[in-house]
Structure 1
């Protein structure tokens, strides 16, 4: 490793440590705010004043990290910190505001003019207050959408900022209340007119609907039990798990639940949410350090320490080349993830690989040959600094010659495929067969020939002796959008893929935030597809409480419709009492999500049904019964079949 690279990694590590210190400061402030009482008001004012610059300092450090590491996941880090920061600051200022209002009210008993002097033209201005001679900024009003577990937090904030404000009359308070409500909570008050008396009526309606302590407790417990599984070692996923545990435990404690006696139960439930490596480390630590009887605080500290370690490691290792293979070179799951911060096209000087260069692909093969020769690039891998005779890369995917598939001029190819026959007539590399030629396909598919949004290749053939097709496992699942609502979509379950994928159409529909990346993915026959964005979301079963947080690479089209052709489900004779993961598995339809091997085998349950010779099998899963395998149709069928690779 070069000296400059070592210096950069050393600087990154220092920045990550500084960022962690800021997080720890905010966590200590959160503990103080949670246990605050009015006798500590002076200390709260001092702490709040010291806390306010934290967000700017955190942003500065995060920007420095992103400058040194262009692949750092800055959005998630900053949004998580920002959300916690503003929530705590609002709560702290609410306590201070409440104290200030009480003080002003007491003074007004002897000097009524104080109320008139402090009252502004806008109710929002009334939420500004003076501490130590300095006017603090206005507080934004809290929002409430109808989540039971968020009711107490909302109502306490609203009481502090609006309800207990002596400068507002009931009609003003009613307007502010309506402004705070969204979704289901707002609908409850749609039938009420805005009058002085109806303000109290509105509050009573909301309390009867949402201030239901047993339901709130139940929802917090349910949130703990249904917490998403951490599918891989990730500082962000583990941090989300740790923060969520602490949030719900604090809420339950506030509601009077004896959570201090739940340590063993909570540790058992939460350890099942960990990825395999982290779970192994926890079990070892539990036995060696705590003699098998750890407390919940030990578990939380373990998660936080693991997050610190992973954050340091991730900051040091990002930007290096990573390669992974699943099975043979032609495996559908094989991929190569390459850091693209220094990628430069030799032909057009753009920031992409030369084999994705649209200007080069627009040329004929003979013109490409001339340009590659002029640039003195290797004819085999299209890179500089060596010749084709010295190149270690595999050759042409069509003729196995020592040249790149982009530089291959196809002649006629005849190849037996089972009992059918493939014919591919004189075509240039980069041009596709016409879709109506059902018996004509490319003998092999190379990524430089496919469009960047295509991830899988399809080959079609017609078998006059036996018509069959392979059914791939599909399921209907829920996926969470940017407003925490679940939307139903269709998923392909693929144990041969090392990555998870989501269609760009679904990303737009869910309004998910994406991160910019530059990674080529390798598939069938080393077909390369350029990936430029990544996102994360939570998936959920339609039949039970199974959830998982997954990271997805974004593609315009994940695959062709599956199955390629619809068929009669009655041909399989599926038992009528089974709940199918995809009730319309036999209908050709688009795929929204592809779930890869990192989660695939965790989805399977005990239970398998074989339907007989020439029929697929049924496998029980958390999504319902999935169908997979070869289906032999009636011999009279002569329809062209398609294979998704």
Structure 2
């Protein structure tokens, strides 16, 4: 209980200080204008007052923890903080306003102190901005002389304000020199001495100004601006060097030589001609006068040239406006557009009847209508048409008139073919791969690896199954006997191996059907001895199945490996690949297998022609076996097999009908 009373007494002391500071601010606010001393006093009082809150916060926290019900103490804290922050804001506002008034009075003193004898109340002189200095030796002399004239030697400005102006004038590395000095009036002289001792280095100043003369940029093309720049830079640095006590009045020949080497070729030639006309070596004043006159001449020519160009531009604009007016007025008197097919008010290419015609009929109608074959508008020919060419080829005709014979720009794609006779079948390289659809679900696809194809293909059915987006392509697929068909859609697929960590992205052409079933007939695998320790890329290679994707030579050789296994004479070969082991080559079949052939030409015309051929002249290849023949064949299948050495082993059975 005694601790709580002690805390309350201490808190009363803080409240008393709060009341004292409030009374002081009321007195300050009653003053019309604050002096520099009053401003400093407010700043110090505010600094002391701001440190009061930290002590109060510690005491109030201990008091709130000591009592059982701190709600009353929370109210006390809220009232104290409300009054505290209000007084701090009032004090800072007074400091800001006082500084603004003092800065305005000091600036007025600078402007009026330069002339005490002449007063022109009717003329308001422009405000003189303080010079800025960022630490460059090249700018030091100009800053030093300006600051001394405006601020340093002005007795109407006290030292605290001079220090304020000095800090406001310094930037970059220069401001760091006096950064550690406290903001007091007696530190101004120390700050000015530190700055002068750092940058009043005569040797470095001379070196910087001499280097500036040598570093003037060369003039590549004569212009008044470049010539005036070289004159101004030279004069500025020479004046600075003269202020530093350098004998620049004896440097004329050296400065002229340096500056002549900076001139462009035309001005240099003019100067040499002018110098040859002089009987005495030219002085720097003569050189400067020559360059200045040359700059005046170029400036006059540039202005006249600019004025002439502006006048011509205005004339061109006026001329174009008058031409536009005549063109916009002309259609009112011209005839309306009439379609030569339906006689409606639109161009030929907009006519639905014309669009529904065949390509040959469109071409014939366009020629008879005397319209441009490129844009299908009247009034000019295709040779003079300014619009673009056909979208499918570079020929100068409309896309509606495009025929397959004109598709020279289409990509030609060559396919290989497969063939087998009745006694042997050629196995093609097939494999099962994983493909992801548009929604990320995996699918298994059967691919055909064909190094004789220059492109990749996917069937429309499988593409529709994957629901992947397609894009437009203009390609022509060519096969056996130069048969061809057009392909207008493409898509992008991502294939991954089912047996190894391998994935490849393919750009495929979408076609109606990649090929017929592969292989074209069922393969008897009893005669094919496959090693037991390999994984086939297509485990059911012997069963005729459809092909979903054809992989061309673009990817083929990146899939094939180095190892191969030969299964014997007249037997297929195993090839190692990243999709598994591929089985390819010739397989001999019994003669009773049906004849069939397949070709990857992908042309509808050829397919229809073959169908008609087989329909007109078809002979059944089936032979009706007798009972004895069927019995013999069944016994052969049941009792005959091939051993590990490749020999046929069978049992001899007795024919019951013969006995």
Asked if TM exceeds 0.5, the reply is: no
Give the alignment's TM-score, normalised by structure 2. Answer: 0.33
Which structure carries more relative contact order (alpha carbon 8 Å, separation 6+)? 1
Give the alignment's TM-score, normalised by structure 1. Answer: 0.33
Higher helix share: 2
